[in-house]
Chain A
Amino acid sequence: MDQLETLRKRPIAYYNVDGVGELGVGFLCLGYALLQWLQISTSQHSIWNQMYTLFLYVGLMVAVIHYGSKAIKEHITYPRTGFVEYRCRETFWFPMAIAVFVSIVTASVLFTAIRRHWNLNTPASLLGLVLAAAYAYGFARTVGWKWIVAIVIAAGSLVFAFLPAEVLGAVADHSWVTRYAHASLAGAILFTMLLYGTALLISGGISFWLYLRHTHPPDPDER
């Protein structure tokens, strides 16, 4: 019975067989880190701190990830190891519901923290432990070497959590954001995004390279 359930989970794991899933999330994290750096290092009224820029930027990143992943799947993955079309429940509604829930909780906590001047740099950094656990559950269970990535994310998050506030805050010390929040919070989020993005991009890149190395498109006559 357990083997049957494991088998039913294989198509979901197949989405990241080429590392494209991780490349997408890594690109998103690094893109967000770049936007945040631009926001804290320019004036409050610069183009980077306008609401429409945020929507355009995020929209552009999502479009690049969506169409980039689609192109890789159609030209590389499907001809080598086959095509799979997922059911909307698994790949759209469930992740969307989780994303909306997490966004609402995060926005509420951040809004409250900024209003009450809470120092959230340690909890923000420790959030990486939750991500490391989710990563271990989602990827490392099936691909052994990805435990290294999970450990790097967890260890990096712990290091950020225990770094002195002035070290984390150095990146945003003279920024306008310090009028609304601790500089260390901005630094913690920026460094955390950089860590996740880099780790996932490297892991996705290695998976992609290994996938290309170990798979070949079958002879057209054999299909």
Chain B
Amino acid sequence: MNQRIREISELDRVIHEPGRLMIIALLSAVERADFLYLQHETGMNKGTLSSHISRLEEAGYLDVEKTYRGKVPLTVLHLTDAGRAAFEHYRRKLKDAL
């Protein structure tokens, strides 16, 4: 039991927050995706999604690229190698804890 509690307490707090977990899980399955796709899949509003993305970017888990498609601004996101490794580590830890 103590072992389980310790494993849960060792989970990466940046990833463990539900909103950020959704973002990182979706991005882990693709090469890149844009802001609109994440908004569509997670159902979060623009402000909440932006703040989660900023937190993940600060942690070095996400790269954010601002670009254009035609005249429309486009925010493209992809997981960094550190982000992928952290997510894999988180999944393993969570599996062990459960």
Interface size class of A (residues with CB under 8 A): 20 to 34
Tell me whether B11 is interfacial, beta carbon within 8 Å: no
Task: Give the secondary structure class of B's interface.
Answer: helix
Q: Given known contacts A7-B25, A8-B26, A78-B69, is B31 in contact with A83 (CB within 8 Å)?
A: no
Do A83 and B29 have beta carbons less than 8 Å apart?
no
| Binding-face segment, A84-92, A119-127, A172-180 | A84-92
Q: Which 4 A-B pairs have the closest CB atoms?
A: A82-B37, A82-B36, A83-B34, A85-B32
Q: Which residues in chain A, 68-118, are within 8 Å of chain B measured between CB atoms?
A: 78-79, 81-88, 90
13 new A-B contacts at CB < 8 Å, known A7-B25, A9-B29, A223-B72 = A7-B22, A8-B25, A10-B26, A14-B41, A79-B69, A82-B36, A82-B38, A83-B32, A84-B30, A87-B31, A222-B46, A223-B36, A223-B73
Interface size class of B (residues with CB under 8 A): 20 to 34
Identify A220's interface contact among B25, B28, B35, B72, CB under 8 A: B72
Which B residues form the contact surface with A (CB < 8 A)?
21-22, 25-26, 28-41, 46, 69, 72-74, 76, 91, 94-95, 98
What CA separation (Å) do A1 and B35 show in the bound complex? Answer: 25
What CA separation (Å) do A220 and B98 show in the bound complex? Answer: 44
What CA separation (Å) do A4 and B91 show in the bound complex? Answer: 9
Q: Report the nearest A residue to B73, measured CB to CB.
A: A223
**A82 contact set on B, CB distance < 8 A:** 33-41
Minimum CB–CB distance from B88 to chain A (whole Å) comes to 12
Q: Which residues in chain A, 1-59, are within 8 Å of chain B measured between CB atoms?
A: 1, 4, 7-12, 14
What CA separation (Å) do A31 and B94 show in the bound complex? Answer: 48
Q: Given known contacts A1-B94, A223-B73, is B36 in contact with A8 (CB within 8 Å)?
A: no
Q: Which residues in chain A, 201-222, are within 8 Å of chain B measured between CB atoms?
A: 218, 220, 222
